[in-house]
Structure 1
Amino acid sequence: MIKTLIFDFGDVFINLDKEGAMTNALELFELDELSEELIAFNSFYEQGLIDTKEFIDFYLSNFPKLSKKDIIEAWNYIICDFPPKRLEFIQQLAKDKQYQLILLSNTNELHINHIKEYIPFYEEFKACFDNFYLSHEIMLRKPNSDIFKFVLDENQLNPKDCLFIDDTTENIETASKLGFHVWNNNPKTEDIVDLFTIKKELF
């Protein structure tokens, strides 16, 4: 029986443009692909291992033609809209109090600050959850197993009582191996508001 719902944030609640952001970044940086060094550095930032100033300074030193504004705009390009129906969905779940609600997101300070500025109901959204875990704040990152074990330990959960929802296959695979029920949602064809229809066999 599902007692706890654990949600990803991007492409579950807030829409992302991953392909567009990558195309935009490659054009801006005049690259064919991101180097392993850049990918690793981005991950370090997302995990809170470096701060925002270090992150921006790194990009400015590697791409001296660009300004701080250029870097921040390119980084935030990925973030799109947050359909209000998804806020209503999680607000109703919080009101019903049938499930413990947890958010578990790989994100970073620049993205969260951008969301706070452009999504007027961010604080209302956050208030719906019993716990709200952002990777850069807890210094852990999906798909590593330690972030899932952290959530289990912090909330004294049995993974067999939890449904984890994420659009990224690697994250789902780790959770599944640890015993979670999972839904690898497709943001192009599925919507979180239809959770109880799409995964009705779990409820």
Structure 2
Amino acid sequence: MIKKIIFDYGGVISYGSRTDALAGILKLDQIQREALEKRLKHPDIKKAAVGAYNKEFVSTEIAKVLTDITYNDICYAIYLASQPESKMIDLVIKIKEDYEIYLVSNSIPEYSEYILDHCNHLFDGIYLSDKYHARKPTDLFEKIISIDESFFSNSIYIDDVRANLHLPQTYGAIPIEFISYSNLIENLTELSIIE
């Protein structure tokens, strides 16, 4: 019996890649987009996602490669890219009537601030990589299991990254790879979560 639905944030609640979102908001040309993408793949950004740096670190790092865009515009773009899709919020609110709803996500401090300030009320619990100093697909899940070994039992786990689905499934979650909103609705309907 399903008791909880567990969502990833980036790529699911706010779907699409963060790089694509930022590039679109900032109206980057191809050269700028490639510079942004390269910077976001840098090991220091991965460290930010486990809480190694302060809130402004990622914005500052992006500003180093997008020198013709103001720091304030970069911060605002990150804010906009952090926002959830309205259809996903409506879905979370709908299923929250019958299920516990959790969020488990790799997150940089700028995104985490937005999530905690604006989305906290939607979830029964939130596990963000920068707050727990561990990233998916392994370390963050293992930290959660060390806190509550039955966390993934009787649950559905939704993530857009296939590699992140294995460990929750091992611990009892029904995995759903997020491909699109309509595909998610089909999966949740098949599982009788929604009608």
Per the normalisation by structure 2, the TM-score is 0.71
> Does structure 1 retain, via aligned residues, the 8 Å contact 2:19–2:37?
no
Answering whether residue 135 of structure 2 is matched by residue 138 of structure 1, we say no
CA contact (8 A) 1:48 1:137 kept: yes
Q: How many residues align?
A: 190
Q: Higher mean Cα deviation, 29-38 or 160-169?
A: 29-38
Q: Is 1:54 aligned to 2:63, yes or no?
A: no
Displacement of 1:77 in angstroms is 6.2
Structure 2 unaligned runs (5+)? none
* Greater RCO, 1 or 2 (C-alpha within 8 Å, sep 6+): 1
- How far apart are the structure 1 equivalents of 2:61 and 2:18? 22
Q: Take 1:141 and 1:26, find their aligned partners in 2: how far apart are those partners?
A: 31
Cα deviation for residue 182 of structure 1 reads 0.7
> In percent, how many aligned pairs have the same letter?
19
SS in 2 for 1:127: helix
1:169 is aligned with what amino acid?
R
Counterparts of 1:14-163 in structure 2, within 5 Å, are 14-18=14-18, 20-21=20-21, 27=30, 29=32, 31=34, 34-35=37-38, 38-61=41-64, 66-73=69-76, 75-76=78-79, 78-79=81-82, 82-83=85-86, 85-96=87-98, 99-113=99-113, 122-123=118-119, 126-143=120-137, 145-157=138-150, 159-163=152-156
By how many angstroms is 1:73 displaced? Answer: 4.7
User: Shift in Å at residue 32 of structure 1?
Assistant: 6.5
Task: State the TM-score, normalizing by the size of structure 1.
Answer: 0.69
Higher mean C-alpha deviation, range 37-46 or range 26-35: 26-35
| Deviation (angstroms), 1:177 | 4.3
The answer to whether the 8 A contact 1:105-1:135 is kept is: yes
Matches within 5 A, 1:163-178: 163-178=156-171
- C-alpha RMSD of matched pairs (Å): 3.6
Residues 93-115 of structure 1 show CA distances to partners (whole Å, capped at 9, x for unaligned) of: 3333xx33221122223224456
C-alpha distance in 2 between matches for 1:82 and 1:105: 16
Structure 1 unaligned residues grouped into runs of 5+ = none
Distance change >3 Å, CA 95–CA 37, structure 1 → 2: closer
Partners of 1:103 and 1:45 in 2: CA distance:
19
For the residue of structure 2 that corresponds to 1:47, the secondary structure is coil
Amino acid corresponding to residue 53 of structure 1 in structure 2? E
